[in-house]
Structure 1
Amino acid sequence: MLNRFRSFPRLTLLSAVAALSLSGCEMLEFSPNDFRSPDDEKDLTAKNLERLRQQPLPAGDTLRFVFTGDSQRFYDEAKDLVASVNQQPGIQFLVVAGDISDFGMGREMRWVNEHLRKLKVPYVTVVGNHDSVGNGREAYQHIFGPLNYSFVYGDTKFIMVDTNGREANFDGSTPNMSWVRQQLSDLSGARRQIVISHVPPQDADFDPTLTDAYAGALRTTPKLVFEMNGHRHDFGVSQPFNDGVNYVNSYGFEKRAYVILTVWGDKQFRLKQVKF
């Protein structure tokens, strides 16, 4: 027995010891791309929308929400942002305009959620280009939910669109224009619409074969208030196509600032910049 024990390769013994020492863990990440997560860190979009439904906004009431983007690896800033937002009165929810992660890893998305789950209000996200690298799209769908989705809150229909065309090799599939047009054509009982995506259509990372179609679809939507984006890490409001459609870009977390949007009436809105 002793001789046979000594004949084991040293590496095999070390591997066995390592496996035994880790056997008490609930979960092992065998790869940095492993996006498995416990139940309370799955389907976060659906869970946050359910929280929002439990706090209905009566018809005609003013909508007020926080807009930010590109959390990536800015975890200290995420902590401070949550503390600041929790002090704001009358906020109904928060939107992160993509790039929750930096390298498309599930662990990054869960780390950001560890901070954002401490918000007093629900939060929703849209998928970003950094969330789309590697197996990031699968991780995003596992942890958050669909890449394209919509919901109605109060008088407003929110349309959340995957616009990460470069990560789809500019193959004409992203954004999904058939889905976008269908969503824009159906108010679902709402009074107005807001479109939120990560990459703005005037950006080089947006599929150039779809720019005109996307901008044109928004231009011909009479109930559209504005289109909102992340990706550029800085705040701005512009009409890049000179067609009357306002595009609102978000701060990145590292800028230590966010925007509060107040919306009322058919298309009236006000923007307030908050630094933290």
Structure 2
Amino acid sequence: MFLKNTLRAGLRLGWCAALLATAGCNIIEFSPNDHRVPDEFTDLNQKNLTRLLAKPLPAGDTLRFVFTGDSQRFYDQAEDMVKTINEREKNIQFVLVAGDISDFSLAREMKWVDEQLRKLNVPYLTVVGNHDLNGNGRPTFEHIYGALDYSFVYGDTKFILIDTNSREYNFDGKIPDMGWLNAQLANPEGARRQMVMMHVPPDNSDFDPNLQAPFAQALARTPNLVAAMNGHNHSWRIGQLYNDGVTYVNSDAFSERSYAVMTVWGDKQFRIKRVAF
């Protein structure tokens, strides 16, 4: 009897091993920290920026783009949003997503979101969110999307996208990188106006309290700043946080089934339309 039971147990283990060996990588995940993805899912911000700059906006033309944030695990909403934007927003140049592409900083999450957003008729660009930095998130985000701080000029506008997820760095005084930000704001690179996009706004407890005032003051002394855009709070908000002339725009998360269309013209005139989907 002992030999029979041992034999049966051995056969069961052998069958399980064979099943796992033939199951394929879609079922077995060897490590949640593995950020390997096909090449088409790497350096996405730069690839989308290349697409955008291939269709330049002539000087003086009105700029129009969609602003949203916090896609996380809201995959059904992402699909519906893309469909709505493609059908209704015929005159936009690109889409900005204010971080938290993922929920758990996993490469497969970022890939799943990109598989929806790449169906947009226009390029999209994003900034890193706090959920994108969990665990091994930083190298994963850098591998898939690119630099955590970057800027670009499109038409008459310079866009500055900066990592403000201070809590993920234990409030070490280095995030946001004020030296980099001040240098960017001081050099508009020939642009008529500037805009800043971040994930965590400066009045949030996840923003380094020692850098809140320097950050807000840097924006306030930039005369050609149109607005500062952020996500993180998952709810719509627009207004001045410090009564210093700087307008902060907090996007809805995908889960709220709305996005904003931002139209910019002149020195720093703008209009925002909130769209439900």
TM range (shorter): over 0.9
Question: Aligned runs of 1:1-276 on 2, under 5 Å?
Answer: 13=14, 16-18=17-19, 20-22=21-23, 29-87=29-87, 88-276=89-277
- Kindly indicate which of the two structures has a greater share of residues assigned to helix: 2
Question: Following TM superposition, by how much is the alpha carbon of 1:150 offset from its aligned partner in structure 2, in angstroms?
Answer: 0.4
Question: Following TM superposition, by how much is the alpha carbon of 1:260 offset from its aligned partner in structure 2, in angstroms?
Answer: 0.2
**Secondary structure of the corresponding residue to residue 209 of structure 2:** coil
Distance in 2 (alpha carbons) for counterparts of 1:77 and 1:238: 26
Question: Following TM superposition, by how much is the alpha carbon of 1:33 offset from its aligned partner in structure 2, in angstroms?
Answer: 2.6
Question: Following TM superposition, by how much is the alpha carbon of 1:34 offset from its aligned partner in structure 2, in angstroms?
Answer: 1.8
Q: Which runs of 5+ in 1 are unaligned?
A: 1-5
Question: Following TM superposition, by how much is the alpha carbon of 1:54 offset from its aligned partner in structure 2, in angstroms?
Answer: 1.1
Distance in 2 (alpha carbons) for counterparts of 1:248 and 1:170: 24
TM-score if structure 1 supplies the norm length? 0.93
Residues 154-193 of structure 1, C-alpha deviations (whole Å, 9 max, x = no match): 0100000000001110010100111101111111121110
Distance in 2 (alpha carbons) for counterparts of 1:123 and 1:53: 12
Distance in 1 (alpha carbons) for counterparts of 2:240 and 2:262: 18
Distance in 1 (alpha carbons) for counterparts of 2:161 and 2:12: 50
Question: Following TM superposition, by how much is the alpha carbon of 1:98 offset from its aligned partner in structure 2, in angstroms?
Answer: 0.6
Question: Following TM superposition, by how much is the alpha carbon of 1:13 offset from its aligned partner in structure 2, in angstroms?
Answer: 3.5
Question: Following TM superposition, by how much is the alpha carbon of 1:40 offset from its aligned partner in structure 2, in angstroms?
Answer: 0.5
Which amino acid is 1:119 matched to?
L
Residues 119-153 of structure 1, C-alpha deviations (whole Å, 9 max, x = no match): 00000000001111111111111111100000111
What is the root-mean-square deviation in Å for CA atoms of aligned residues? Answer: 2.0
Question: Following TM superposition, by how much is the alpha carbon of 1:29 offset from its aligned partner in structure 2, in angstroms?
Answer: 3.3
Q: Which runs of 5+ in 2 are unaligned?
A: 1-6
Distance in 1 (alpha carbons) for counterparts of 2:16 and 2:176: 46
Which amino acid is 1:126 matched to?
V
Question: Following TM superposition, by how much is the alpha carbon of 1:16 offset from its aligned partner in structure 2, in angstroms?
Answer: 4.5
Distance in 2 (alpha carbons) for counterparts of 1:20 and 1:251: 44
Cα separation, partners in 2 of 1:97 and 1:18, compared to 1, 3 Å:
same
Cα separation, partners in 2 of 1:133 and 1:26, compared to 1, 3 Å:
closer
Aligned residue pairs: how many?
271
State the identity as a percent. Answer: 59
Residues 74-111 of structure 1, C-alpha deviations (whole Å, 9 max, x = no match): 00000000001112120100000011111111111111
TM-score if structure 2 supplies the norm length? 0.93
Which amino acid is 1:116 matched to?
L
Distance in 1 (alpha carbons) for counterparts of 2:13 and 2:66: 54
Distance in 2 (alpha carbons) for counterparts of 1:151 and 1:11: 59
Cα separation, partners in 2 of 1:189 and 1:30, compared to 1, 3 Å:
same
